[in-house]
Amino acid sequence: MTVKTPIYLDYAATTPLDPRVVKAMMACLDLQGDFANPASTSHIHGERAKQKVAMAQGQIAQAIHAQPSEIVWTSGATESDNLAIKGAAQFHQKRGKHIITSAIEHKAVLDTCGFLTTEGFDITYLEPDGQGFIHPQQVRDALRDDTILVSIMHANNETGAIQPIQAIAEITREQGVLLHVDAAQSLGKIAINLATLPVDLMSFASHKVYGPKGIGVLYVRHKPRARLLPQIHGGGHQQGLRSGTLPTHQIVGMGEAVAMTCEDLPKEYKRLQQMRDKLWQGIKHLPAIVRNSPETNCLPGHLNVSFPTIEGEALLMGLDKLAISSGSACTSATIEPSHVLLSMGKQPWVAYSTVRFSLGRFTKDNDVNFIIQHVCDVVTRLDAISPLTPEDVLA
C-alpha cells in the first residue's frame, strides 16, 4: 500500500473539513438555501436561518453539557479568549485588578493579559513543572484578595499536557473567583462536561474539530452568572455580549463538526492514542531524543519530541515527507524557541530542535509505519553529520 506524501500531521494547528460539514454549510449560502440574516425574523428566510443557528447552539450545548443560551458565537478561540479575559477584567475591575494565568498559555491568552497590564492590571504567570503541568496548589497559593480572574488552558497545544482543571475549578469556585479555560485543543479530543466542571468561561474553536475556520464559541455560565463587558459593539446581538450579524453557514458548520467529533470521541481517542504510542515506540531509541509530551494526562494524538543533536531547521527540512510543526515560531529573520518548552526548563537548543506530531481523523495505521521509517532514516542521517554527542546536548 503506497502512502501519499507529505503526510499531514499538523491536526493540532488545524483540520480539514468533514465532508458532511461542507454539505451542511453549502445549504446556507445561496438563494435556495438558508442564507438570510438570522435576526430578520419578519420573513420565513430569516426565521429558517434563526432555527438553524438555534439547532447549532443546541448541538454545541449538548456536546459540552451546557445550556444553549450559554453559547456565544465568536470568530474563533482567539476572540473568545479576548472576550472572556478583557470582558471579565473590565467588568470586575472595581473589585480588584489581579489575574492569574500560566506561562504555557497560547499567545491569545498571554498577549491579552499583556495588554491588560497597560490598563493597570497585575498578572501572575504560574510556571509549569518539567512535564508541563500546572498544579492546583499553585493557583491556590497565587490567589489574593484582589484576584478577579484565573485563566488556565485545558490542554496545551504544543505538548498536549491536560491540566487538572477539575481541581483548579473547585478552588476558584470555592474562593468566588472567575475561571476561564481555553479549550481550543481539548474540544473533541477529551470529554468536557460543564454540568460537573465548575468553569465560568470556556473558549472553543471550530477548525480544530473538522469544522470551518472563522467561527468559535465562548461558553458563558449563567448560574452563577459570569458577567462580562462586551468587546464588540453594534446591534446588541447575542444578549449584547457580541454584536454582529451571525454567520449562519459558519455556525451550522461548527455545530455539525462538534456534534460529529464528540460522538466519535471514545472510539477516536483510543485509535489516536494507539497510533501515537506506536509512533513513540518506533522512534524512542533515536539518539538524544527527548519526549516533551507527558506519558500520562496527554491528548491522544499529540507527540512532541526534540532531537537536540540536530538543529531545528535542518530537522524540519529533513523530514520533508511529513507536514509537521516545529516547536518554534519562525519569522523570516529570527527563530524564537517555544515559550512553553522554555518554561518547562528545557534548554534553548532542545526547544529549537523540536517537532510536534499531531495525528487526526485521516491518519491511518499504515501511515504510522511510514512515519517511523522516515523519522528514523532522517534523524540517523542528520545525527551522523552532527559533531555533537548526546552528552554535549543533554548535560
Partner 1 sequence: MNLYSNVTMKHFQQPQNMGELQGDDVAFAKVGSLPQGEVIQLTLQKKDPIQKAAFKAYGSVATIASCSWLTSWLEGKSWQQARNLTVQNIIDELQLPEMRRPAAILVLEALNKALDNDSKRS
Residue whose CB is less far from partner 1, 144 or 381: 381
Residues of span 111-170 touching partner 1 by CB under 8 A? none
User: With binding defined as CB under 8 A, does residue 336 bind partner 1?
Assistant: no
User: Applying CB under 8 A, what is the total number of residues that bind partner 1?
Assistant: 19
| DSSP label at residue 122 | E
Catalytic sites, residue numbers: 330
| Cα distances (angstroms) measured from residue 75 to each of 14, 55, 80, 130, 365 | 15, 18, 8, 34, 34
Reference 157, options 361, 356, 307, 305; nearest CA is 356
- Contact characters 80-119, partner 1, x per CB under 8 A: ----------------------------------------
State the Cα–Cα distance between residues 297 and 263, nearest whole angstrom. Answer: 21
Output the smallest distance, CB 352 to partner 1, in A. 7
> CB of 313: closest distance to partner 1 in angstroms?
4
Q: Is 333 in the site for partner 1 (CB under 8 A)?
A: yes
How far is 187 from 99, CA to CA, in rounded Å?
Answer: 24
Q: Does 386 bind partner 1 (CB under 8 A)?
A: yes
Task: Write out the three cell numbers for 342.
Answer: 522554555
Is-contact 68 54, C-beta < 8 A?
yes
Compare residues 2 and 332 and give the one whose CB is closer to partner 1: 332
Give least dist CB 328 to partner 1, A.
Answer: 11
What is the nearest approach in angstroms of partner 1 to the Cβ of residue 311? 5
The angle at the Cα of 253, spanning 225 to 78, to the nearest 5 degrees, equals 50
Q: Any idea what DSSP says for residue 155?
A: B
Considering the complex, state which of residue 167 and residue 317 has its C-beta at the smaller distance from partner 1: 317
Footprint of partner 1 on 345-384 (CB under 8 A) = 348-349, 352, 384
Count, in order, helices (H) and strands (E) of the chain: 12, 15
- x/- mask, partner 1, residues 288-317, rule CB under 8 A, reads ---------------------xxx-xx--x
What is the closest distance, in whole angstroms, from the C-beta atom of residue 145 to partner 1 in the complex? 43
Q: Considering beta carbons, is residue 19 or 387 the nearer one to partner 1?
A: 387
The DSSP code sequence of 338-389 is PHHHHHTT--HHHHHTEEEEE--TT--HHHHHHHHHHHHHHHHHHHHH-S--
DSSP 274-328: HHHHHHHHHHTTSTT-EE-S-SSSB-TTEEEEE-TTS-HHHHHHH-TTEE-EESS
Cβ 23 to partner 1 shortest distance, Å: 32
Q: Please say whether the beta carbons of 265 and 30 come within 8 A.
A: no
> Residue 27 has what DSSP assignment?
T
- Binding-residue pattern over the window 212 to 251 for partner 1, x denoting contact by CB under 8 A: ----------------------------------------
Q: Any idea what the Cα angle at residue 43 is, between residues 40 and 49, rounded to 5°? A: 60
Between 171 and 394, name the residue whose CB sits nearer to partner 1: 394
Binding residues (CB under 8 A) for partner 1: these are: 309-311, 313-314, 317-318, 332-333, 348-349, 352, 384-388, 392-393
